[in-house]
Structure 1
Amino acid sequence: MHALIRGLIVFFLFVPIIFSQPGALGLGQLIDVPIARALHQGVVSAELRIYPGGGLLSSVLVCLTDHLGMGVSYGGTNIIGTGKPEMNPLPCVHLQYLLFEEQMLSPAVMIGFNSQGYGGYHKSMKRYAIKSRGFYAVAGKNTSFLGGLGMHAGLNYSLENEDGDRDLNVFAGFHKWINPDLVVLGEYDAAINDNSDNTLGAGKGYLNAGVRWSVAQRFYVEFCWKNILENRENVPGSSREIKLIYLAHLIR
């Protein structure tokens, strides 16, 4: 009986901590995968991604409401360095809608569409090195446990399927706050839609890790280590990227 009482006391003491909402990430993305996080109405997120091959990718996301966001992105490879830049064929679009906000015992849920892939664009295959997310749904739960922790998981269907691999894909990730200015990021993209004979993936999935640093109010620098499992056919090694992110408030 005493053991039961002690168990109930522990349960009611720690459940509010474990399932509480503090610890949420300030942006709607880990490294490459989305999370169920919408910024406030009137907030604009501007991002510049610097990646191997002299690549630059710029993107802007405008939050029209507390639930709805719309964005556009464009870039290319060999922009930094010598030689002729190879620009992506078209600007890409991103739409997102927060279906359910996070509650004490239930996760936040977001749906969206993003036609932006990562890495160089392969014209012959009509796809990016890492396929665009396409249509996606993602859920996430945040907690103040361990100083701020968030867990995220989702699925997606990419429209980049000229290679014949049209499988539904899954992904998951986490973030862990180190202090109010520094957060560690980790994610795994199973790349189930990129593991057939005619695709670029090697069947291992994409494991990425990173650190995001808030260097000033609304300005972030992110250092990423990508493709840790070396999931690329005939392309050995992982890669390193840098992201610069700035948030502006159009409505105060």
Structure 2
Amino acid sequence: VQKNGGFSSGLKVGITDRFQFGMSFGASNLIGDDSLKWYPHPEVNLKYQLIDETMTMPGIAIGLNSQGFGAYDEILERYEVKAYGVYASASKNWATPLGNMGLHAGVNQNFLEINDQDEDQSLFMGFDIEFNPELSVLVEYNAALNENDMEAEDIAINRDGYLNAAVRWTFVERLHIEMDFNNLLFDEDKVDYFNRELKIIYIEYF
């Protein structure tokens, strides 16, 4: 559930131990009394684990994620926050006295949402830590280097990138409830608040 009554749902399936395929779809103004605006088409999420993580080296993954965030602009044919597009990422995890801690970083290139004339590559990174088997905190930063030039800069709602944070509660073994606080570095000249979203994540093993 997103701001202004927006809603997005997705399904990801592990085809093999290394390859994951997913699709997502949603709408703006689904909840409320404004006109409903569906996303133009389903979006795709592909991920392949290229190199496994070891005690000394991070795991490396490559993928494609065409699902952006927020409302969809039909004129510029892009989401309020651009999707990652094609990406490569590295992740490393450690055991701490509290629980697992992970660091993640990557580079991405969005070749789909380019009508705003900003086609630069971008960078992203993240951090997560478990405080106990039920409760964890996640922080991520998207440099948004493809939203700081030409027409993209005019409509960007961030200031020096997107900083997001979340609290995740593992309600039962496979069910997670997550409260997200997005765009903490918001541009006060364009918006006067950061975004709050509620996520419900269910994981099943076959």
Range into which the TM-score falls when normalised by the shorter chain: over 0.9
Change (3 A) 1:134 1:108: same
Q: Could you tell me whether the CA contact under 8 Å between 1:192 and 1:203 is conserved in 2?
A: no
Aligned with residue 173 of structure 1, among 103, 113, 126: 126
Could you tell me which runs of 5 or more consecutive residues in structure 1 were left unpaired when the two chains were aligned: 1-49
The residue that corresponds to 2:16 in the other structure is 65
Could you tell me which runs of 5 or more consecutive residues in structure 2 were left unpaired when the two chains were aligned: none
Query: Which of these two proteins has the greater Rg computed from alpha carbons?
Result: 1
Q: TM-score w.r.t. structure 2 length?
A: 0.94
Residue 158 of structure 2 is aligned to residue 206 of structure 1:
no
Letter in 1 for 2:167: V
Structure with more relative contact order (C-alpha pairs < 8 Å, separation 6 or more): 1
Alignment RMSD (CA, Å): 1.3
Residue 64 of structure 2 is aligned to residue 113 of structure 1:
yes
Letter in 2 for 1:177: E
Q: TM-score w.r.t. structure 1 length?
A: 0.77
CA distance in 2, matches of 1:243, 1:232: 26
Q: Which has the higher strand share?
A: 2
Q: State how 1:139-150 maps to structure 2 within 5 Å.
A: 139-147=90-98, 148-150=100-102
CA distance in 2, matches of 1:52, 1:210: 15
CA distance in 2, matches of 1:232, 1:62: 39
Shift of 1:234: 2.1
Q: Report Cα offsets for 1:205-243 as digits up to 9, x if no partner.
A: 000111111001200000011110104862332111100
Letter in 1 for 2:162: Y
Number of aligned pairs? 201
The residue that corresponds to 1:240 in the other structure is 196
Change (3 A) 1:169 1:209: same
Aligned with residue 153 of structure 1, among 105, 110, 115: 105
CA distance in 1, matches of 2:188, 2:26: 22
Q: Could you tell me whether the CA contact under 8 Å between 1:186 and 1:209 is conserved in 2?
A: yes
- Percent identity at matched positions? 39
